Amino acid sequence: QVQLVESGGGSAQAGGSLRLSCAAYGYTVSRYTMAWFRQAPGKEREGVASIDSYGTRIYADSVKGRFTISRDNAKNSLYLQMNSLKPEDTAMYYCAAEPRTWVQYPRRASEYKYWGQGTQVTVSS
């Protein structure tokens, strides 16, 4: 059974950093396309960053240069390093996984079969 467990959320000041982790169980992360999404109250779920099995990374324009998605195959985990945080980064962040080596629209939530429970990130000005 596939399970994703996020951690690392919390509060930060604008300009600060946080690192999110997603531990995967029941499958090998290197063989899946994985991504981070976020959802703020009253807004649609937004694809933040993705990485496919080939290592190709795609970022939303709003986080390019500030966020970095990475994968540790030995630990079977996915990470999101978030630097230069802004108040508009405040949201619930979700880890997602799709059992394909790549997907056509990596920032679309509908492309992903498995989801974590989410971890809250709050950035204050």
Model pLDDT for residues 13-32, shown as the tens digit of each residue: 999 999 999 999 998 888 99
* Nearest CA among 125, 116, 123 for reference residue 37: 116
In eight-state DSSP terms, residue 3 is E
Place 9 in a pLDDT band, splitting at 50, 70 and 90.
very high
Q: How far is 79 from 58, CA to CA, in rounded Å?
A: 14
Q: Give the tens place of pLDDT for each residue, 67-110.
A: 999 999 999 999 999 999 999 999 999 999 999 999 999 999 99
**58-61, Cβ contacts within 8 angstroms, sequence gap of 24 or more:** 58/106, 58/107, 60/107
Quick check: 39 pLDDT over 90?
yes
- Can you name the residues that pair with 96 across neighbouring β-strands? 35, 115
Q: Report the distance separating Cα 61 and Cα 50, nearest Å.
A: 13
| pLDDT at position 58 over 90 | yes
Whole-number pLDDT of residue 114: 96
